[in-house]
């Protein structure tokens, strides 16, 4: 590959990472409130799939609210959830503006910060069909 082509591909990929989240989001979401959907907590890949949307959000839980709802107060490490799968949840939280959130493997277009878990139930080891 020529150096010009490598440079073009690199710049195009970098633009895709910055612009893609804005293109993905078409729904006007409230900045704070109740959100329901599918949650998955895994090492550097926390994800929330809101009902009625194709978006994927980074899931942040500063007080471990969702983890505690799933495994109880006696949890040792969040890593034990990686094998547990997906959960249907309803949470109260705050939603960020459109941007890029999360770690390298789990980039998302928004960040949902969970403040309270209203409902939580296991749906399976594989993601449910949307």
| pLDDT digit string, tens, across residues 97-111 | 999 998 876 689 999
On whether the 3-124 domain is CATH 2.40.128, my answer is: no
Share of the chain above pLDDT 70, in %: 66
The whole-angstrom separation of Cα 10 and Cα 81 is: 35
Could you tell me the CA-to-CA distances from 46 to 12, 13, 74 in Å, in that order? Answer: 26, 23, 21
Whole-number percent of the chain with pLDDT over 90 = 38
The residue among 48, 58, 46 whose CA lies nearest residue 109 is: 58
pLDDT interval class at 93 (50, 70, 90): very high
Domain limits, the chain: 3-124
| Cα distance from N-terminal residue to C-terminal residue, the chain | 40
| The pLDDT of residue 68 | 76
Res 23: pLDDT: 47
Give the pLDDT mean for 75-90. 67
């Amino acid at each position: 590959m020529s150096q010009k082509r490598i440079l073009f591909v690199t710049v195009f990929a970098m633009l895709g990472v910055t612009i893609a989240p804005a293109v993905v989001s078409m729904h006007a979401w409230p900045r704070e409130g109740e959100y329901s959907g599918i949650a998955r907590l895994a090492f550097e890949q926390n994800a929330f799939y809101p009902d009625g949307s194709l978006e994927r959000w980074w899931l942040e839980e500063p007080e471990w609210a969702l983890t505690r709802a799933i495994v109880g107060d006696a949890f040792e490490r969040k890593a034990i959830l990686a094998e547990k799968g997906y959960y249907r949840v309803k949470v109260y939280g705050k939603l960020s503006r459109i941007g890029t959130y999360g770690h390298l493997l789990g980039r998302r277009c928004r960040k949902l910060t969970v403040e309270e878990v209203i409902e939580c139930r296991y749906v399976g080891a594989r993601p449910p069909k949307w």
